[in-house]
Amino acid sequence: PWIAEHGPGSTESQMIQPTMHQLFRLVLGQKDLSRAGDLFSLDDAEIEDSLTEALEQIKVISSSLDYQTNNNDQAVVEICITRITTAIRETESIEKHARALVGLWDSCLEHNLRPARKDEDTPHAKIASDIMSCILQPPCDPNNSKDKMPFGAQLYCNYNRTPVMVLAVPIAVKFLHRGSKELCRNMSNYLSLAAIAKADLLADHTEGIIRSILQGLLPKPTSLDLQCATNWVEETLEEFC
């Protein structure tokens, strides 16, 4: 059975599985900003089983026609994503929720990611940035400062999860062509770390990566430019594999 949080006549009626934590059902089903902050009073373990369904519901909300102009819905989504990504990190459950997380990330590519004004992210760019950090940012060891952690330990905590990277890398490469300047810059930094940890996962995407680089440096990259650059990167990546 499914639970409808809106009336049957509502065009925005969404069906939410009853296994989702009741507070997530309330906040996301009714887009109740006044209760969204209460999600942080719950233990991470208490909501961990709800995270995939919550991400799927956020995808529905953020894909609605009025999302980019609806400040309430944007605020609800931002708070919920912060709570979800925190719980994923704390419970180390990213593999379990990776498909839903990457699915929401991918859906951002269908919307405007480039701001009209400088230093201002679009609503979907904010979602994309938060998910990018959750998936790709090297975590900080709670028992150690990042400065005390060996570089390899920081790196492989996050990038050595092959099932997650298999889902994430193809989407990350797409953002190099579609994202804002800030999003692209951060994505390229994270992909460079991924290349060190899992070079084989980027091998199939070298042409897209090089094309993105050349389009930023050359007005009209030729096929010869692309082929030479691709050959060089593939040869370099083979050394890491």
pLDDT in tens, 116-173: 777 788 999 999 999 999 998 765 444 544 444 433 334 445 678 889 989 998 999 8
**pTM of this structure:** 0.75
pLDDT score at 131: 96
DSSP state of 205: G
The set of residues, in sequence order, having a beta carbon less than 8 Å from that of 196 and lying 6+ positions away, is: 155, 159, 240
Neighbours of 71 (CB within 10 A): 9
Give the gyration radius of the chain's Cα atoms: 20
Inter-residue contact 15 to 56 (CB < 8 Å) = no
Give the confidence band of 232 by pLDDT, cuts at 50, 70, 90. low
- Structure tokens, 140: 């900080």
- Strand partners for 15: 4
Q: What would the two tokens of residue 66 be? A: 């009025």
User: Taking 60 as the threshold, does the pLDDT of residue 13 lie above it?
Assistant: no
How many Å apart are CA 224 and CA 159, to the nearest integer?
A: 33
Euclidean distance between CA atoms 140 and 37, whole angstroms: 24
CA distance 205 to 80: 32
Q: DSSP letter for 20, please.
A: S
SS3 (DSSP) at 4: strand
Burial class (CB in 10 A: 0-12, 13-18, 19+), 237: middle
Distance CA 136, CA 191 (A): 8
Question: 239 Cβ partners below 8 Å, 6+ apart?
Answer: none
Q: What is the tens place of the pLDDT at every residue in 179-227?
A: 678 888 888 888 877 777 777 877 777 777 777 666 653 334 445 445 5
